[in-house]
């Protein structure tokens, strides 16, 4: 269940009051010819985790925007600045082994034009993430069965290029 907050300040106060974890989601988008693409990744060799966007926790002493920049760099290798705030919401879900409640803050980043089409990163020294671009129109159409096109695609090894300082 998702409940949207009116402002990020309200969301952060709610997280603090309820002692909930704060999480950020990073939606990196780019225009490619006549379509808009979203940066997604899968875990290799374990594809069971499905298609994901960069996300992670807000650490003590950092703002959600700072956490978004940090998580994007840690997981994808991209150093992008100026995250644009989209929304904050309370997320409640029954996961396979536990019930979770957390406050999520969503951000979008504009991708530089010269980024690679695919690349792999070793996140946290232990997880191989295979990044690629998903056409938003095609990706959205495939979500109905939970097996969108990003689930079946494999990305060759490579590193991102065109990172901004």
Closest CA to 4 of 89, 87, 64: 89
pLDDT band, residue 154 (cuts 50/70/90): very low
Q: What is the pLDDT of residues 18-55, one digit of tens each?
A: 999 999 999 999 998 888 999 999 988 777 788 999 99
Q: What's this model's pTM, rounded to 2 decimal places?
A: 0.81
CA 69 to chain centre: 11
Q: H or E segment at 57? A: strand 54-57
Q: What is the pLDDT of residues 63-85, one digit of tens each?
A: 999 999 999 999 999 999 999 99
**What is the number of H-type helices and E-type strands within the chain?**
3, 8
pLDDT band, residue 143 (cuts 50/70/90): low
**How far is 148 from 141, CA to CA, in rounded Å?**
8
CA 91 to chain centre: 15
pLDDT band, residue 140 (cuts 50/70/90): low
93 exposure class (CB count in 10 Å sphere: 0-12, 13-18, 19+): exposed
**How far is 164 from 158, CA to CA, in rounded Å?**
18
Domains located in the chain, CATH noted: 2-151 (3.90.79.10)
Mean pLDDT of the chain: 85
């Amino acid at each position: 269940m998702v409940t949207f907050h009116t402002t990020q300040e309200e969301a952060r106060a709610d997280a603090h009051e309820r002692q909930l974890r704060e999480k950020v989601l990073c939606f990196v988008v780019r225009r490619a010819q006549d379509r808009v693409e979203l940066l997604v990744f899968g875990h290799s060799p374990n594809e069971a985790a499905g298609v994901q966007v960069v996300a992670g926790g807000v650490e003590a002493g950092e703002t959600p925007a700072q956490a978004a920049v940090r998580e994007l760099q840690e997981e994808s290798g991209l150093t992008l600045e100026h995250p644009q705030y989209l929304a904050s919401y309370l997320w409640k879900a029954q996961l396979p082994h536990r019930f979770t409640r957390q406050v999520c803050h969503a951000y979008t980043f504009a991708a530089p034009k010269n980024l690679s089409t695919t690349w792999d990163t070793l996140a946290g020294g232990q997880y191989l993430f295979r990044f690629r671009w998903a056409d938003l129109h095609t990706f959205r159409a495939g979500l109905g069965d939970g097996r969108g096109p990003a689930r079946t695609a494999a990305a060759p090894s490579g590193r991102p290029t065109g990172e901004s300082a």
